[in-house]
């Protein structure tokens, strides 16, 4: 893939990712959080499943292959998005997006602990820098309210999903994986909604428009591009550009919700961006040597 196309796709997918936080927060005025995200991904999953069936895309043939799609959907859709929408009830969309998109830093930590990957000192400095940025973003103190914890858990789940897609994503057609991970994740969220909350949805033109945007643009389009980028490149280097998503998330929160751009939020976001850059940056000498971080 050429750099120009890669850049365009990165901007599109991160802009859609970021905008979904503010738009989702507006949607919470008309729906309980888990039900809203369940509707979003079930609708998106059903549409995509029909499309990939019509296009005769190659589907998994064994139970073993289907179970990986269920697991990816459980992490990437159910866990990540469930935590995000629950977090949006108590913290701003900007804070939620910044916490969620620390996941590239966590990819390094989890990759080391679980997959025994060896990372360079520079990358660990990036992790420390990024985590310090989270501390600054939270106002310079550990404010462990439920929204903060859920925002961080969404990053943990996303990091696990990133590594899982890198290891097992080659088994699936990108469109098929996108469709069924959303569908399975959405169905899991439906169950969670009826178990963990009192579900409600107020149908009106605005709430239906929000649901449509979340299901089509911020789900089908965004996830298709994201999984395509993950499958065709190194996950850490691709994830490095996720720092653009909290930028768009904070920007959309400021524009749509009149959320304040505090100095701690700006400085913390810059430190997180620097940390992600350090995690992913490689010198020309390393590139010539063909050094890689993941098999």
Q: Tell me the pLDDT of the chain (295 aa) as tens digits.
A: 677 788 888 889 988 988 899 999 999 999 999 999 999 999 999 999 999 999 999 998 888 889 999 999 999 899 999 999 999 988 888 788 888 877 777 877 887 777 777 777 777 887 788 777 777 766 655 556 788 889 889 989 988 888 888 788 778 888 898 899 999 999 999 999 999 999 999 999 999 999 999 999 998 888 788 777 877 766 556 766 766 777 788 888 888 888 777 777 778 778 877 877 777 665 445 444 443 333 3
How much is the pLDDT for 279? 72
CA distance 100 to 231: 21
Three-state secondary structure call for residue 201: strand
Record the pTM: 0.80
Angle between helical axes of 222-232 and 3-27 (0-180°, round to 10)? 140
CA distance 273 to 253: 19
Report how far Cα 11 is from the mean position of its chain's Cα atoms.
Answer: 14
Read off the DSSP letter of residue 28.
T
How much is the pLDDT for 204? 95
Locate 118 and state its tokens: 């060896």
Report how far Cα 191 is from the mean position of its chain's Cα atoms.
Answer: 21
Contacts of 240 (CB under 8 A, 6+ apart): 104, 276, 277, 279, 280, 281
**Using only C-alpha atoms, what is the Rg of the chain?**
18
CA distance 33 to 197: 9
The answer to whether 6 and 42 are in contact (CB under 8 A) is no
The answer to whether 93 and 251 are in contact (CB under 8 A) is no
Number of residues that make up the chain: 295
Interior angle at CA 15, CA 132 and CA 50, nearest 5: 120
Report how far Cα 7 is from the mean position of its chain's Cα atoms.
Answer: 18
How much is the pLDDT for 191? 95
CA distance 263 to 261: 7
Number of Cβ atoms within 10 Å of the Cβ of 216:
15
């Amino acid at each position: 893939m050429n750099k120009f196309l890669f850049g365009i796709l990165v901007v599109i997918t991160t802009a859609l990712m970021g905008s979904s936080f503010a738009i989702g927060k507006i949607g919470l005025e008309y729906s309980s959080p888990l039900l809203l995200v369940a509707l979003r991904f079930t609708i998106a999953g059903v549409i995509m499943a029909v499309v990939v069936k019509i296009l005769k895309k190659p589907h998994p043939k064994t139970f073993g292959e289907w179970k990986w799609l269920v697991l990816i959907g459980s992490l990437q859709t159910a866990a990540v998005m469930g935590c995000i929408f629950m977090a949006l009830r108590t913290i701003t969309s900007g804070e939620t997006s910044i916490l969620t998109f620390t996941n590239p830093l966590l990819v390094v930590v989890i990759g080391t602990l679980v997959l025994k990957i060896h990372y360079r000192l520079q990358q660990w400095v990036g992790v420390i820098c990024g985590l310090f940025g989270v501390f600054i973003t939270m106002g310079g103190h550990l404010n462990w309210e439920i929204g903060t914890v859920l925002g961080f858990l969404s990053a943990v789940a996303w990091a696990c999903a990133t590594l899982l897609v890198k290891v097992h994503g080659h088994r699936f057609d990108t469109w098929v994986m996108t469709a069924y991970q959303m569908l399975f994740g959405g169905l899991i969220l439906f169950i969670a909604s009826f178990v963990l909350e009192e579900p409600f949805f107020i149908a009106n033109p605005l709430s239906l428009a929000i649901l449509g945007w979340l299901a089509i643009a911020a789900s089908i389009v965004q996830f298709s591009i994201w999984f395509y980028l993950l499958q065709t490149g190194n996950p850490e280097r691709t994830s490095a550009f996720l720092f653009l998503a909290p930028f768009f998330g904070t920007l959309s929160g400021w524009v749509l919700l009149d959320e304040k751009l505090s100095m701690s939020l700006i400085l913390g976001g810059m430190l997180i961006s620097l940390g992600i850059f350090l995690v992913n940056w490689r010198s020309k000498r390393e590139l010539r040597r063909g050094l890689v971080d993941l098999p």
